[in-house]
Structure 1
Amino acid sequence: MRQFLLIKRNLSHVCKLKPYKDTKWLMPDGNPTGIYIYSCVAGDRVPVILKDPTIATWYSCGPTVYDSTHIGHASCYVKLDIIQRILKWFFNIKLVTAIGITDIDDKIIKKSQQLKTDYQTIAKQYEQEFWLDMANLNVDKPMIIARVSEHINSIEKFIKNLIDSNMAYVVEDSSVYFDTSKYPLYGKLQQVQENGEPSDEFKRNKMDFVLWKGQKPGQPCWKTSWGEGRPGWHIECSAMVSKLFGSQLDFHAGGIDLKFPHHENEEAQSCAFHNTNQWANYWIHVGHLNLKDIKMSKSIQNTISIPSLLEKYSADTFRMACLLSNYKHPMEYSDDMMKMAQDIVMKIKFFLKDSNVYVNKTMSDRATYNYKLLNELQMTEERNLEALKADFDTATCVNSLLNLISSANTTIKLNKNEYCPVSVTLIANYVVDMLTKFGLKLVDSSEENISSSVVDTLVDFRHLVRKNAIQGKNKELLTACDIVRDRMKCVKIQINDSDTPSWIYVK
């Protein structure tokens, strides 16, 4: 216990936090995990402290299901999936995950009116499409899916509590507003700006925001003690999370565009409801995916659908691109960026195939231990764990893996007189373990449809012809081998020329 108190006493110094009196972030009571994460409230990295050292709660703001998901959404959910996997598989935290689905909203109602169909039909259609897209990107499905339409009673009780405690007020059209003048910590997540909502003439203060929207003709509505209407956007997440996880949440995640006003309003109304100064301990915000410095947005019709992405690149390639960028910062989507990620995935796949051939080749010499390689493996393992503790620095991990692979490739391809199957096998297993924990599959389903034995025969034959052509300096045969290699690329098979040739399926 004394040791824990000493650790906690020194955490602020380690994180370089602002003095306690000057920050609105409150250090939770509990058990330090050794992980540090950026806090927009503290403006710095802070220690991740959990009440139970092995259990954490996580809520993600999900989609408003009125249209198809695009790769801007995909980058957000893939990056959040990576962070969740890190917490679960590298730090052994039992993460209870939930996501909110907004299935009643102005945009859904507008779409239903345009298509002359029920709003629920619209919502169900696009939610199903969303889950299919997430599965194709290998994003784990949350344990709990909370749909707004299924939690109206909880939302009503939440709002009623705020009205009764004088933190919210009802106006003449039965809308309900949160009174920000009663909550002095408003602006905790981000410096506030004037917040314009529909029916602004009813507001007591410029920053007040709507909790419940009064009934409008021809729109879905529910009866409450103060009048008919439907939930406002911000109240939905607070009510559903409070029902699921109680008065405090460990991680709350979403895109950077949700930081204000959505997350700011969630924190304010939740703190008021639970009579606490901190509701979510750690806010995680993912940077935008941009196209040439322009935010991808449905409103300007510059989006790329997830099926369109996956026609051109694999889910592994897109996830590798996400791993190479910092989750907090904007990410620029381009063919150059995707091809760089694709090259890295290809390099890793070639290494895994080459290492398998190397370990199983016939050797007359006895195996030896390469202690230099084993030492580099150990240092890489330690370096990567520290990088993940430092706000989930996956880019450093990928770079370390590539350096380790280069060292192993030197032994496989250049050190002809040294046979080190143990060292190479351990490195290959570590690479696979790291990347599968990050969510890469490293095997494309399309690859299973290719007759491997036929491709193996062709690649081996080409290798023999090419080897003889090099020895005989036969330019015509070398040109023919190059033509075969290029034509194989057209059917998405990449051949790697080395002493022991290999091939992979590329998408």
Structure 2
Amino acid sequence: MTSSINSSPPWEQPESAHPQTGLEVFNTFTKSKVPFVPRKGNCVSWYGCGPTVYDAAHMGHARNYVSFDIIRRIMEDYLGYDLNVVMNITDIDDKIILCARHKHLLSQYRTQVTALTEQTIEDASNALYEFANASFKGLIELRIGRPIGCDDDWKAFALEVDDGNDEVFLASDLKASMNFKAARNAFRALVVARQKVAAGKTSQAEAGVLIDSCEDVLAPWLDRQHGADVTDQRIFRDLAAYWENDFFEDMDALNVRRPHVLTRVSEFVPDIVRFVQRIIDNGYAYEAGGSVYFDVAAFDGKNGHFYAKLEPSSKGNVALVADGEGPLSRRGNEKRSESDFALWKRSKPGEPTWPSPWSAGRPGWHIECSVMASEILGEQIDIHTGGIDLAFPHHTNELAQSEACFESQQWVNYFLHAGHLNVKGLKMSKSLKNYVTIKEALHKYTARQIRTLFLLSQWNAPMYFDSKSMEEAIAVERSLSNFFSNVTALLRDSRLHQQGSDAQRRILAPELDLLKALENSKELVHRALLDSFDTSTAIRAIQDIVARTNAYLQRGRSCIDPQTVEVVALYVSRIMRAFGLVAESPAQAIGWGIQAVSAEGQGTSTDRESLILPVASVLSEFRDAVREIALSGGDKKALLTLCDRIRDKDLPNLGIVIDDHGDGRALVKILDPEEIRRSHERREAEEATRQLEKHKEMQAAEEKRQARIAKSRQAPEDMFRTPEMCKLYSAWDDWGIPTADKAGELLTKSKIKKLTKEYEAQKKLHGKYLESQK
């Protein structure tokens, strides 16, 4: 039995007669690492909170789902657990409802607006004023003393913000800053729109430009007027379905395994109704105004129940509770306490509805996961995962609901929470619009590089996503990629040259040292993975054995044992697969799975044709060019140019790299063409940067040289008599050295000494100039 912090109850360690792996995990219940013991032998039930599908997935989502995919793979592929992974799709939610209505109403409005008119401008202006008054009410009252009702009011407020100290306030409140930028952009678009109307540019396209620029202020304005009229439930369903497909496209691109069971809230509404009724029957919930609320006070402390076990310090945090209820939640006196939360919401006009004993309504957010997890996995779960921002109130309320329904004390045994992904010190978030979508990230980095970034960090700790952190990940990924390509090429070359040969090489001290280093790395990796999936330590151990193997390979092909190298590479490949760095698709796994070497020659004739034909075409063109040069009496330089082109351009485009070695024999590597392209672009960018820096240095040196030449032309007796110097001095000696300042005061000895020194330096410089002219 282990006690957690503050006033939370003791956590009960599961018991099992089945042999354990020795794995320890960081459990949010205890805020410490505890032994992992599944309830049923080697079988592990796992529920992971899936996405709320209303927009594109961003790198904060990637942090969550890739991190837990790594843990899942370690448990399944390395430790041998038999997992049953369930993940939900939240397709009923306030954010989905608002987003769907906004998109629908904006689309309708665009269709209705056929020209840029005064009415369109007035609509956008009114939307701006309402948006500003809602977003900056207190600040507006403080700065201009009245609500914004015209352009002059907005100008006065914006001027106060720009000229005063409010920029500091906005910088500290990212959401306020985001809203201010949206409002300012809308106002600037309105200024331009009025100019276009005055100039007679009033086409529908011009109106579309204004609408696009004012989307953030127009959407809530239209929703307040017409949101209640949106009654077609397909509008909400279609939006969720679109973003669900988009989400799984991103997950597939990141090589995240699909869950064994996928659930959607819309498919479990009848189950949710029954679950809520059971909580009411047990005395832990009440109906009010057609909605049903969980009674925190009735639950906390009754029958051994404890509320807020995950985050005791957040208990009673009304702001977090309200945020968890959603932007469409009812405001009023329905709830008995501000800490109570909705299990069922009576739908207002413009919201999707399902039947229930209490009202035509929809589920609350928290109840959804409790029901879906319990319906599939039963009344107790081994592992529950999600981002740390869900610990309170979402996961806290999940626990309370489920334990209230089943009258149990530990619905989940192990809560695993992934740390935040931070951008410029702030959590990446859709609501703050400071996010990078997964697709944007994949346009710049490979999936393997992104996964490497997460492997280098502790899964439950905050981490940063920026160019510096990605540079480290790229360097690690590149070193591993080079290792696999070198070993694969070496083993292929070794097999080709040993065919028909009975020669065997005796294992010597270098091989024994390498194998001993491998055993040490294995032990370090194993200990690290059992230590709450410490992948960063495991990666360092892998890097060490890779570095040792690379050093061994420097002995040269005639002095190494390929079989020893293969043993190391097979182990490293096994760990890389357990980390998900080797894609499920063979085409994406090129260069990272050395077992492909022994499988050469297998496959259908269609596979062989698709693989061989592009290479054969390149070789045919090369042969034609060589023949032409030979028949025309061309020189050796032209042949070498052809050889360089096929090595540096033609074959790399097909994923083939020829690595010239000092022994005269080239090593052939098979790599991912996309990785070669990215590497080539990276080298070109680095070279361009070097050339630019070199050009700047040469330009600066030339400017310095020209300035020195220009200075050398001046006679020393004239250097202190220029118009600028005459403003500083009023008297000079016979050599032109100043003796008095502008006011006629004699200069000090030290000042005259300093000026004399400058005079002598100029005299020497001018002398060299005169000598050069002779």
TM-score, with structure 2 as normaliser: 0.57
CA distance in 1, matches of 2:615, 2:39: 51
Residue among 461, 468, 479 paired with 1:336: 468
Residue among 63, 86, 101 paired with 1:113: 101
Q: Could you say which residue in structure 1 is the equivalent of 2:577?
A: 436
Residue among 340, 353, 376 paired with 1:221: 353
- Segments of 4+ in structure 1 off by > 6 A? 446-450, 452-458, 484-497
Q: Could you say which residue in structure 2 is the equivalent of 1:293?
A: 425
CA distance in 1, matches of 2:658, 2:443: 21
Deviation at 1:439, TM superposition (A): 1.0
* Change in 2 beyond 3 A, CA 1:276/1:446: closer
Do the aligned partners of 2:615 and 2:654 also contact (CA within 8 Å) in 1? Answer: no
Q: Could you say which residue in structure 1 is the equivalent of 2:281?
A: 164
Equivalent residue of 2:87, what SS?
strand
Q: Could you say which residue in structure 2 is the equivalent of 1:176?
A: 292
1:189 aligns with 2:310: yes
* Change in 2 beyond 3 A, CA 1:289/1:164: same
CA distance in 1, matches of 2:70, 2:333: 44
| Offset from partner CA, 1:130-160 (integer Å, 9 cap, x none) | 1111111111111111100100011001100
Q: Could you say which residue in structure 2 is the equivalent of 1:230?
A: 362
Show the 5 A alignment for 1:198-209: 198=329, 199=331, 201-209=333-341
Deviation at 1:205, TM superposition (A): 2.3
Equivalent residue of 1:235, what SS?
helix
* Change in 2 beyond 3 A, CA 1:489/1:28: same
CA distance in 2, matches of 1:418, 1:209: 71
The one-letter code sitting in structure 2 at the alignment partner of 1:440 is L
* Change in 2 beyond 3 A, CA 1:64/1:428: same
* Change in 2 beyond 3 A, CA 1:83/1:456: farther
Q: Could you say which residue in structure 2 is the equivalent of 1:8?
A: none
* Change in 2 beyond 3 A, CA 1:34/1:456: farther
Deviation at 1:228, TM superposition (A): 2.1
Deviation at 1:502, TM superposition (A): 5.8
Deviation at 1:221, TM superposition (A): 1.1
* Change in 2 beyond 3 A, CA 1:432/1:389: same
Do the aligned partners of 2:54 and 2:243 also contact (CA within 8 Å) in 1? Answer: yes
Do the aligned partners of 1:183 and 1:272 also contact (CA within 8 Å) in 2? Answer: no
Residue among 482, 491, 494 paired with 1:350: 482
Deviation at 1:223, TM superposition (A): 1.6
| Offset from partner CA, 1:106-131 (integer Å, 9 cap, x none) | 11111221232611111111111111
Show the 5 A alignment for 1:42-441: 42-116=30-104, 118-171=235-288, 173-181=289-297, 182-184=299-301, 185-190=306-311, 191-192=313-314, 193-194=317-318, 195-196=321-322, 197=325, 198=329, 199=331, 201-359=333-491, 360-361=493-494, 362=497, 366-369=504-507, 370-414=511-555, 418-441=559-582
| Offset from partner CA, 1:258-298 (integer Å, 9 cap, x none) | 11100000011111111111011111111121212122122
Greater mean deviation of Cα atoms: 379-388 or 491-500: 491-500
The one-letter code sitting in structure 1 at the alignment partner of 2:571 is Y
Gaps of 5+ in 2: 105-233, 591-609, 622-639, 679-774
Equivalent residue of 2:22, what SS?
strand
| Offset from partner CA, 1:60-89 (integer Å, 9 cap, x none) | 111111111112111211111111111101
Identity rate, percent: 35
CA distance in 2, matches of 1:494, 1:260: 52
Gaps of 5+ in 1: 1-10, 459-476
Do the aligned partners of 1:290 and 1:332 also contact (CA within 8 Å) in 2? Answer: yes
| Offset from partner CA, 1:227-286 (integer Å, 9 cap, x none) | 221100000000111111111001111111111100000011111111111011111111
CA distance in 1, matches of 2:668, 2:30: 51
Do the aligned partners of 1:78 and 1:319 also contact (CA within 8 Å) in 2? Answer: yes
The one-letter code sitting in structure 1 at the alignment partner of 2:292 is V
CA distance in 1, matches of 2:81, 2:310: 26
Do the aligned partners of 2:651 and 2:657 also contact (CA within 8 Å) in 1? Answer: yes
| Offset from partner CA, 1:157-195 (integer Å, 9 cap, x none) | 110001111100111x21111111122311210022222
CA distance in 2, matches of 1:453, 1:300: 53
The one-letter code sitting in structure 2 at the alignment partner of 1:138 is N
Q: Could you say which residue in structure 2 is the equivalent of 1:24?
A: 10
CA distance in 2, matches of 1:495, 1:214: 68
| Offset from partner CA, 1:196-245 (integer Å, 9 cap, x none) | 34335222223111111112112111121122211000000001111111
* Change in 2 beyond 3 A, CA 1:135/1:419: same
| Offset from partner CA, 1:413-455 (integer Å, 9 cap, x none) | 1366632222100111111111112111267649799956899
The one-letter code sitting in structure 2 at the alignment partner of 1:218 is G
CA distance in 2, matches of 1:498, 1:347: 19
The one-letter code sitting in structure 2 at the alignment partner of 1:346 is R
Do the aligned partners of 2:456 and 2:535 also contact (CA within 8 Å) in 1? Answer: yes
The one-letter code sitting in structure 2 at the alignment partner of 1:436 is R
CA distance in 2, matches of 1:490, 1:453: 13
Equivalent residue of 2:559, what SS?
coil
Matched positions, count: 475
Is the radius of gyration larger for structure 1 or structure 2? 2
CA distance in 2, matches of 1:325, 1:316: 15
Deviation at 1:377, TM superposition (A): 1.4
Equivalent residue of 1:431, what SS?
helix
The one-letter code sitting in structure 2 at the alignment partner of 1:306 is I
Equivalent residue of 2:97, what SS?
helix
Greater mean deviation of Cα atoms: 433-442 or 364-373: 364-373
The structure carrying a bigger helix percent of its residues is 2
CA distance in 1, matches of 2:41, 2:620: 53
Deviation at 1:356, TM superposition (A): 2.8
Deviation at 1:355, TM superposition (A): 1.7
Root mean square deviation of aligned Cα: 3.3
The one-letter code sitting in structure 2 at the alignment partner of 1:120 is R
CA distance in 2, matches of 1:327, 1:346: 22
Q: Could you say which residue in structure 2 is the equivalent of 1:40?
A: 28
CA distance in 2, matches of 1:493, 1:405: 22
TM-score, with structure 1 as normaliser: 0.85
* Change in 2 beyond 3 A, CA 1:24/1:397: same
CA distance in 1, matches of 2:589, 2:515: 35
Do the aligned partners of 1:38 and 1:391 also contact (CA within 8 Å) in 2? Answer: yes
The one-letter code sitting in structure 2 at the alignment partner of 1:256 is I
CA distance in 2, matches of 1:384, 1:37: 16
Deviation at 1:312, TM superposition (A): 1.6
Do the aligned partners of 1:367 and 1:421 also contact (CA within 8 Å) in 2? Answer: no
